Amino acid sequence: MDVAALSALALPDPDGAEHRLGDYWRDRRVALVFLRHFG
Protein backbone atom coordinates (compact mmCIF):
# COMPACT_ATOMS: atom_id res chain seq x y z
CA MET A 1 0.00 0.00 0.00
CA ASP A 2 1.76 3.12 -1.24
CA VAL A 3 -0.22 5.88 0.49
CA ALA A 4 2.03 8.60 -0.91
CA ALA A 5 1.47 7.41 -4.50
CA LEU A 6 -2.24 7.06 -3.83
CA SER A 7 -2.33 10.59 -2.39
CA ALA A 8 -1.03 12.06 -5.65
CA LEU A 9 -3.71 10.45 -7.81
CA ALA A 10 -6.80 12.31 -8.98
CA LEU A 11 -9.94 10.34 -9.81
CA PRO A 12 -13.27 11.46 -11.27
CA ASP A 13 -16.61 11.33 -9.48
CA PRO A 14 -19.74 10.19 -11.37
CA ASP A 15 -20.15 13.76 -12.72
CA GLY A 16 -16.63 13.77 -14.13
CA ALA A 17 -15.09 16.20 -11.63
CA GLU A 18 -11.56 15.21 -10.64
CA HIS A 19 -10.59 14.87 -6.98
CA ARG A 20 -7.04 14.49 -5.67
CA LEU A 21 -7.12 11.65 -3.16
CA GLY A 22 -4.59 13.19 -0.79
CA ASP A 23 -6.85 16.21 -0.32
CA TYR A 24 -9.37 13.99 1.46
CA TRP A 25 -6.92 12.90 4.16
CA ARG A 26 -4.68 15.95 4.39
CA ASP A 27 -6.01 16.88 7.82
CA ARG A 28 -8.36 14.08 8.90
CA ARG A 29 -8.80 10.33 8.96
CA VAL A 30 -10.55 8.72 6.03
CA ALA A 31 -12.06 5.29 5.55
CA LEU A 32 -10.97 4.50 2.01
CA VAL A 33 -13.03 1.69 0.56
CA PHE A 34 -12.22 -0.08 -2.68
CA LEU A 35 -15.43 -1.61 -3.96
CA ARG A 36 -15.33 -4.68 -6.20
CA HIS A 37 -17.63 -3.09 -8.73
CA PHE A 38 -20.80 -1.03 -8.70
CA GLY A 39 -23.08 -3.76 -10.08
Where do contacts with another protein occur on this chain (CB under 8 A)?
1-7, 9, 11-14, 19, 21-22, 24-39
How far apart are CB 12 and another protein at their closest, in Å? Answer: 5
CA 14/CA 18 separation, integer angstroms: 10
How far apart are CB 18 and another protein at their closest, in Å? Answer: 9
CA 28/CA 11 separation, integer angstroms: 19
CA 33/CA 3 separation, integer angstroms: 13
How far apart are CB 1 and another protein at their closest, in Å? Answer: 5
